A and B are shown apart, each in its own frame.
Chain A
Amino acid sequence: MEAPKTIAHEIGGVQNDALRFGLHGVKSDIVGSHPLESSFQSTRKTNEEIKRKFLANTYGSAFPLRMDLDMQILSRFQRPPGAIPSSMLGLEAMTGSLDNFGFEDYLNDPRESEVLRPLDMHHGMEVRLGVSKGPVCSKELQLFNGATSTPHFRQTLTLKPYNPKKVPSMDARRTPRTVIDPKVRHVGFFAPPDRSHTAPPDPVSSSTSSSPPVTDISPTGNSLSPVMIPPPRHSSDNRPIPYPPVPASPLRRDSIAPGSYNPSDFYSATSPTASSYVSRMVAGEGEFSDDVVALSPGRVARGSLVKTVAGPAASSFPGGGFNLTAVKASSVPVSGLTTVSVVNLPPGIAEKTGGASVQVQNDGPANVKPQKEKSTKAERRALQEAQRAAKAAAKAEGSKAPAAASAATTSVNVKPAKATKVPSQKNETTSVAASEKKGGDRPPEKDRKKDVPHPRMQYDDKSRVEKAKRRSVVKQTEARNRVELFRHLPQYEHGTQLPDLEAKFFQLDPMHPAVYKAGLQYLSGDISGGNARCVAMLSAFQAAIKDYSTPPEKTLSRDLTAKISSYVSFINECKPLSISMGNAIRFLKSRIAKLPLSLSESEAKTSLQLDIDRFISEKIILADKVIVKHAVTKVRDGDVLLTYGSSSAVEMMLLHAHELGKQFRVVVVDSRPKLEGQLLLRRLVGKGLSCTYTHINAVTYIIHEVTRVFLGASSILSNGTVYSRVGTACIAMVAHKFRVPVLVCCEAYKFHERVQLDSICSNELGDPDAIAKFPGREEIKSLNEWTNSENLQLLNLRQV
Chain B
Amino acid sequence: MDFQVVVLAGGTSKKLVPLVSKEVPKALLPVANRPVLSYVLELLELSNLKDLIVVVEGEDAALSVGGWISGAYADRLHVEVAAVPEDVGTAGALRAISHHLTANDILVVSGDIVSDVPPGAVAAAHRRHDAVVTAMLCSAPVSGPSESGSSSGKDKSKKYGRYNIIGLDPTKQFLLYIATGGELEKDVRIQKSILRAVGQMEIQSDLMDAHLYAFKRSVLQEVLDQKETFQSLKQDVLPYLVRSQLVSLMRFLHDSSQVLSQTLANASTPSFHQQYSAPVRRTHKCCVYIANNRNYCARLNSIQAFSDINRDVIGEARNLSGYSFSAQNNIIHPSAELGSKTTVGPHCMLGEGSQMGDKCSVKRSVIGRHCRIGSNVKVVNSVVMNHVTIGDGCSIQGSVICSNVQLQERVVLKDCQVGAGCVVNANTESKGEAFYRKEK
Contacts and interface: CB of A to CB of B under 8 A. Distances in A.
Interface of A: 238-240, 298-299, 301-302, 306, 317, 319-322, 324, 327-328, 335-346, 349, 353-354, 499, 501-509, 511, 513, 516-517, 520-521, 524-529, 531-533, 535-536, 539, 616, 620-621, 646, 648, 651, 679, 682-683
B50 A343 contact: yes
B292 A499 contact: yes
B268 A338 contact: no
Contacts of B257: 238-240
Contact of A344 (B75, B84, B263, B275): B75
Nearest to B97: A336
Nearest to B103: A302
Contact of A506 (B1, B73, B76): B1
Given A341-B73, A646-B267, 18 more contacts: A238-B256, A240-B257, A240-B259, A298-B100, A322-B74, A335-B100, A336-B83, A339-B78, A340-B70, A502-B124, A503-B120, A505-B121, A506-B1, A507-B120, A517-B127, A521-B128, A539-B260, A648-B267
Given A526-B128, A527-B268, A337 B81 contact: yes
Given A337-B53, A337-B100, A507-B47, A502 B75 contact: no
B148 interface: no
Contacts of B67: 322, 324, 340
A298 B78 CA distance: 13
Given A343-B75, A517-B127, A506 B48 contact: yes
A513 B3 CA distance: 10
A728 to B, nearest CB: 17
B120 to A, nearest CB: 3
A712 to B, nearest CB: 11
B323 to A, nearest CB: 16
Contacts of A509: 1, 48
Interface string B75-111: 1111111111000000000001101101010000000
B85 to A, nearest CB: 10
B69 interface: yes
A302 B123 contact: no
B118 A527 contact: no
Interface size bucket, B side?
35 or more
Contact of A651 (B3, B81, B121, B266): B266
B119 interface: yes
Given A327-B66, A503-B120, A520-B127, A302 B267 contact: no
A327 B269 CA distance: 52
A683 B267 CA distance: 11
B423 interface: no
Interface string B297-313: 00000000000000000
Contact of B47 (A324, A505, A531, A620): A505
A84 B399 CA distance: 110
B1 A513 contact: yes
A348 to B, nearest CB: 12
Contact of B80 (A337, A508, A524, A532): A337
A452 B78 CA distance: 34
Contacts of A682: 275
Contacts of A353: 48
A648 B268 CA distance: 11
B270 interface: yes
Contact of B124 (A298, A302, A505, A679): A505
B258 interface: yes
B78 A306 contact: yes
B111 to A, nearest CB: 14
Nearest to A524: B128
Contact of A520 (B70, B124, B259): B124
13 contacts: A299-B102, A322-B70, A324-B66, A335-B100, A340-B67, A340-B69, A340-B70, A340-B79, A341-B77, A342-B74, A346-B75, A511-B1, A516-B1
B51 interface: yes
B317 interface: no
B120 A505 contact: yes
B118 A340 contact: no
Contacts of A503: 47, 118, 120-121
Contacts of B79: 339-341
A341 B270 contact: no
Contacts of B266: 529, 532, 646, 648, 651, 679, 683
Given A340-B70, A343-B50, A502 B120 contact: yes
A13 B62 CA distance: 96
B187 interface: no
A295 to B, nearest CB: 14
Contacts of B259: 240, 621
A284 to B, nearest CB: 14
B316 interface: no
A240 B275 CA distance: 23
B289 to A, nearest CB: 8
Contacts of B97: 336-337
A320 B74 contact: yes
B51 A338 contact: no
Contacts of B82: 335-338
A505 B1 contact: yes
A335 B100 CA distance: 7
Interface in B255-309: 256-260, 263-264, 266-270, 275, 292
B63 interface: yes
A602 B51 CA distance: 29
Contacts of A320: 70, 74-75
Nearest to B83: A336
B116 to A, nearest CB: 10
Nearest to B52: A341
Contacts of A302: 51
Instruction: Pick from A239, A517, A533 the residue with the most CB of B within 10 Å.
Output: A517
